[in-house]
Chains A and B, each alone.
Chain A
Amino acid sequence: MNGRRDPDLLIAAWLQGEAPDRAPERLLTASRDRVRSTNQRRTWWPARRIPQMNGAFKLAIVAIAVAVVAVVGINLLPRQGGIGGPSPSPTAVPSSTPSPIVNFAGSFARGTAYAIDAPDRVGSSRMTFTMPAAGWWADDFVFVGKNVPGSGDGFDLYVSPHLVDNVYTGGCHWRGTALVPRVGPTVDNLAAALSAQAGPGASAPTAVTVGGHLGKKVELSIPEGLDVTTCDSDGDFPIFGRWYTDVPDSTFGAAPWTYGHGQHNTVYILDVNGTRQVIDTMYLPGTSAADRAELEQVVASIRFEPRASTPSPSP
């Protein structure tokens, strides 16, 4: 071997030489044509408006929901495991789960394990979960959501981890209403502050466990009669503000993001090895019992594990 040659430099130089200078013009032309005929998926906004339902339609919906629950409930509703306290817990976690796919974006595969490894969202741990059904996807890997076919664009339900620093008291008009002094550092401090937020729709905290970690659960609903498009904006979108985080370089400000009128959030506040971890889940009115069961199964499958610090050299 010629000792004067640096293999890494040679490889880099070879790649530089192999790379074409420019893309062919036809590629840009073809891409333009396809983009021109493609509509954007309006993921976040405008909020999907919930249609007014007449009496017969409501009865039909109720009948379908009852049927769905009767047929699939036994298989889909939680039985044991992850979520403790008042919520039933499903069996979504395979006993021999292979290494999860980390920070995935795209359409999730049923029965596959994934992990969110984001220090600004999961602190010193990474959060793993198993997808119980098809139809879930993520563009930004910290939001794992589902869009119900025929319901319009955007998530109808999602699961997302958060680290919360403080809460707002203003709800729809949250700007300038951050709690002073800040909410205390414990699970109970945050649960109590969220429950005490201005406006209706916040439940009292209840005990819960997720992935073996104790915590509190708070239910937060935006009143269906409230036009959320009138709420304060975070600069991009209107938000019914509940909390925020100001971790440096966080990709996240006021939260939770508002997807539609009557949005319901179930917020799990956990003590994960000394870190106050929030798991925010959301569903919009009209979300089926089956879809909500899937949402609960995702939460029930959540586990927290140390972030890998020493990569294995083996293939």
Chain B
Amino acid sequence: MTKTELVRLAREGDRDAFDILMTAVVDHLYRIARLILRDFDSAEDAVQEALVRCWRDLPGLRDPDRFDAWLNRLLLNSVTDEARNRRRYVTNVTVLRIEPTQSDGAGALADRDELARVFGRLSIDHRTIVVLHHYLGMTVDEAATTIGIPVGTAKSRLHYATEALRAALEADARSGSAGKALA
């Protein structure tokens, strides 16, 4: 049975069909939520809320072929709600200055550590566009449509977020070079 057929059945109230869909998509949703929210509990709550909304509002989805895009949008709405409710990870993305990285004596921090630090300082909106573009491989247009924002806004967010991450990598590279020179 195809996904479209499952969506049609679930839309008509078939809970077994929805269970199959839910099982098929939960890992994908969790990865996205976990990447954006950077928190296990928040990610689980966001995914759970998105799946419940998906079931509840599925009869309103006219075109089953839009299911994936629609579900992504539901998830992003839930992620935003979750972030807004908890207010634990929201920071102002305009603060993009990268602090000089201190060598820990064992060498420079790895790329992932520096990226994680900077990524965690980005706002939810900026993390979202980074995940959609760099992780899911969406074009800016596709990401804008998925989030429900103008293309210009999406492009701007991606530009600033990516620049911040690139700066982190450059800082890491400088730190690594300095560490080697001192060794």
Contacts and interface: CB of A to CB of B under 8 A. Distances in A.
Q: A and B: real partners?
A: yes
Contacts of A20: 30-31, 34
A27 B44 contact: yes
A96 interface: no
B47 A31 contact: yes
Given A1-B170, A20-B31, A315-B160, A140 B60 contact: yes
Interface residues of B, number: 66
Interface in A172-190: none
B156 A1 contact: no
Contacts of B35: 15, 18-19
Contacts of A38: 52, 55-56
A30 B52 CA distance: 10
A68 to B, nearest CB: 28
Contacts of B151: 308, 311
A244 interface: no
B94 interface: yes
Contact of A41 (B23, B59, B174): B59
A24 B34 CA distance: 12
B56 to A, nearest CB: 5
A308 B93 CA distance: 24
Chain A: interface residue count, which band? Answer: 35 or more
B178 interface: no
A11 B15 contact: no
Q: Which of A12, A14, A44, A251 has the most CB of B within 10 A?
A: A14
B162 interface: yes
Interface stretch (B83-91, B98-106, B130-138): B130-138
B26 A27 contact: yes
A17 B22 contact: no
Contacts of A252: 62
Interface stretch (A102-110, A162-170, A271-279, A284-292): A102-110
The 10 closest A-B pairs by CB, nearest first: A311-B152, A43-B60, A23-B30, A139-B60, A15-B135, A19-B31, A311-B155, A7-B166, A312-B152, A31-B51
Interface in B15-68: 15, 18-19, 22-23, 26-27, 29-31, 34-35, 44, 47-48, 51-52, 55-63, 66
Given A18-B34, A22-B30, A311-B156, 15 more contacts: A8-B134, A11-B134, A19-B31, A23-B27, A34-B48, A41-B59, A44-B60, A99-B153, A102-B148, A105-B74, A105-B148, A117-B150, A252-B62, A312-B155, A313-B156
B56 A39 contact: yes
B26 A140 contact: no
A310 B156 CA distance: 12
Given A20-B34, A36-B15, A15 B131 contact: yes
B18 A308 contact: no
B139 interface: no
Given A24-B44, A103-B148, A308-B152, A35 B55 contact: yes
A96 B90 CA distance: 28
A161 B174 CA distance: 55
A160 to B, nearest CB: 11
Given A7-B169, A36-B15, A308-B151, A105 B135 contact: no
A105 B73 contact: yes
Contact of A14 (B15, B56, B74, B115): B115
Given A28-B22, A30-B48, A312 B162 contact: no
A311 B134 CA distance: 19
Interface of A: 1-2, 5, 7-8, 10-12, 14-24, 26-28, 30-32, 34-36, 38-45, 99, 101-106, 117, 139-141, 236, 251-252, 308, 310-315
B57 A43 contact: yes
B56 A41 contact: yes
Contacts of B174: 1
A278 B67 CA distance: 26
Given A105-B77, A139-B60, A314-B156, A11 B55 contact: no
A34 B112 CA distance: 36
B19 A32 contact: yes
A44 B22 CA distance: 22
Contacts of A36: 15
Given A31-B52, A308-B151, A311-B155, A140 B34 contact: no
Interface in B148-177: 148-157, 159-160, 162, 165-166, 169-170, 173-174, 176
